[in-house]
Amino acid sequence: MNKRKVVITGLGMATALGLDVEENWQKALSGISGISKLTYPHAENSKVQAVGEIKSTNWARLQQEFPEDAVREGERRTLFALWAAQQALKDGGLVRKNTEHRSQNIDKKNAENNLGSGLWAPGSESFRSGVILAAGLGINRLEDVQKWIGKDGNFAYERFGREHKGIHRESIVKNNSHRPSALIAKRFGLNGYNATVTTACASASQAIGLAFRLIRRGDADMMLAGGADSMINPVGLIFFVLLGAAASSADSPEETCRPFDRKRGGLVMGEGAGIVVLEEEAHALKRGAKIYAEVAGYGTTIDAYQVTAPHPKGEGAEHAMRAALLDADTAPGEIDYINAHGTSTKLNDSAETLAIKNVFKEHAYSLCVNSSKSIIGHLIAASGGPELIFTALSVLRNEIHPTLNLKNPDPKCDLDYVPNVKRAKIVRSAISNSFGFGGQNASIIIKKFKS
């Protein structure tokens, strides 16, 4: 039996570079960094000072775009997710014009007849469409603990129990990881499979990989997949400092993230979202959708080595890429470009390089490898979303954005990382890698679309 083909028909994102996919892409190609000095309040003493924050003007725009959700929802990432989902659907020609700025109530009659609010283009079936999103950590604030410390210096548990509703709305207590994917499903009438993946930095790639498999095996015709995340909050800011994985600040923020550079010193956090519309090929062709690229394969593995460090030889990463190639029925020689996990930590970048060399042998040296994190930072659970979008655009347009700040070659990282200047190159097929803390690895293969 021939497998159903899965194509990408819509892109939506929000990063430090902006709220528009084309703007993100052009800036990334030009090597404009989204990393800047932290503006989060009261954080002047934070060890982490370089971050890829969503600019305050853009945040204000998101709040205007989703006024009800801005008031009701506690987490920043929820608005990022709504925005990226809406952009992806619009880009895919799947949102009716009159419903763009209004929520659920618009199509009440349709909702009653068809369960979903029926925002999809006519002819599509809401139960054959779903959402799989990545989610990161909930937000913990000092106030949430401090507020219930008694005069005796102990935490007043009973008082907390009575007064817990007074906890900040951003707190993990008033939120849950399934919220963004459910809000999106409700708003846009996607009434099929709905799930939330929580596998740390591998989450968004796994979400996209699972959505791809779901369509390929026939359980859905259309899926929104990707992720949204932000760890720019008090406990988030010290999270990677405690683990020894945060970059120590460089003189200028935009030079702090330097994947594959000998002087790389750790990861730089970003925030935002990246969500794509995946669609079965015939379904997309039938409605005349524009097709960016084909999702051809997905593979995922576990290091089963240590939860504190990746496998030093990148064994899990190697196996994930091999599994994806096998899944895509693609020979290593057909891959021209890898959007690496490339976190700018000592351990990841050398292990990932080794894994690439083990999979591709000599061909590894003719590949282009880059790290989007050098430009937009590490979007943690969401990182695979924007990175897959960049990968798809490279496959479509034969252009590869640079890896920024790569100035000091590392003998352990000796591939072509497209240092500092974009590259024009025919990209037949590409891989996007995401590896999570704990040891979960995911690789996705994107191919040029041929009907």
- Cβ burial, residue 242 (10 Å; 0-12/13-18/19+): exposed
Q: In terms of CB distance, is 27 or 216 closer to other proteins? A: 216
Distance in angstroms (rounded) separating the CA atoms of residues 341 and 330? 21
**Contact pick of 145, 282, 331, 421 for other proteins (by CB under 8 A):** 145
For residue 150, give the DSSP letter.
-
Site string for other proteins, 359-378 (x = CB under 8 A): --------------------
Q: In terms of CB distance, is 42 or 109 closer to other proteins? A: 42
- Whole-number Cα distances in Å, 177 to 28, 86, 136, 137, 435: 30, 19, 8, 8, 20
The encoded tokens of residue 205 equal: 């790639």
Least Å distance between CB 289 and other proteins?
23
| Binding of residue 159 to other proteins (CB under 8 A) | yes
If DSSP codes are grouped into helix, strand and coil, which group holds residue 7?
strand
**Contact pick of 177, 330, 350, 391 for other proteins (by CB under 8 A):** 177
Least Å distance between CB 19 and other proteins?
25
> Number of residues in contact with other proteins, rule: CB under 8 A?
89
Near other proteins in 68-107, by CB under 8 A: 104
- Cβ burial, residue 182 (10 Å; 0-12/13-18/19+): middle
The interface region with other proteins, picked from 234-242, 258-266, 407-415, 425-433 by CB under 8 A, is 234-242
Say whether 201 is catalytic: yes
Distance in angstroms (rounded) separating the CA atoms of residues 314 and 258? 20
Say whether 311 is catalytic: no
The number of beta carbons lying within 10 Å of the beta carbon of residue 5 is 20
Least Å distance between CB 175 and other proteins?
8
| Binding of residue 193 to other proteins (CB under 8 A) | yes
The number of beta carbons lying within 10 Å of the beta carbon of residue 97 is 7
| Binding of residue 186 to other proteins (CB under 8 A) | yes
If DSSP codes are grouped into helix, strand and coil, which group holds residue 267?
strand
The encoded tokens of residue 321 equal: 């890429």
If DSSP codes are grouped into helix, strand and coil, which group holds residue 261?
strand
Near other proteins in 243-282, by CB under 8 A: 243-244
**Contact pick of 9, 24, 33, 140 for other proteins (by CB under 8 A):** 140
- Cβ burial, residue 302 (10 Å; 0-12/13-18/19+): middle
Site string for other proteins, 327-356 (x = CB under 8 A): x-----------------------------
The interface region with other proteins, picked from 83-91, 155-163, 247-255, 271-279 by CB under 8 A, is 155-163
- Whole-number Cα distances in Å, 273 to 54, 143, 195, 319, 376: 10, 27, 16, 27, 11
The interface region with other proteins, picked from 289-297, 343-351, 426-434, 435-443 by CB under 8 A, is 435-443
**Contact pick of 85, 197, 340, 382 for other proteins (by CB under 8 A):** 197
Contact yes or no for 367/415 (Cβ under 8 A): yes
Say whether 168 is catalytic: no
Q: In terms of CB distance, is 178 or 313 closer to other proteins? A: 178
Q: In terms of CB distance, is 178 or 262 closer to other proteins? A: 178
| Binding of residue 307 to other proteins (CB under 8 A) | yes
> Which residues are tagged catalytic?
201, 341, 378
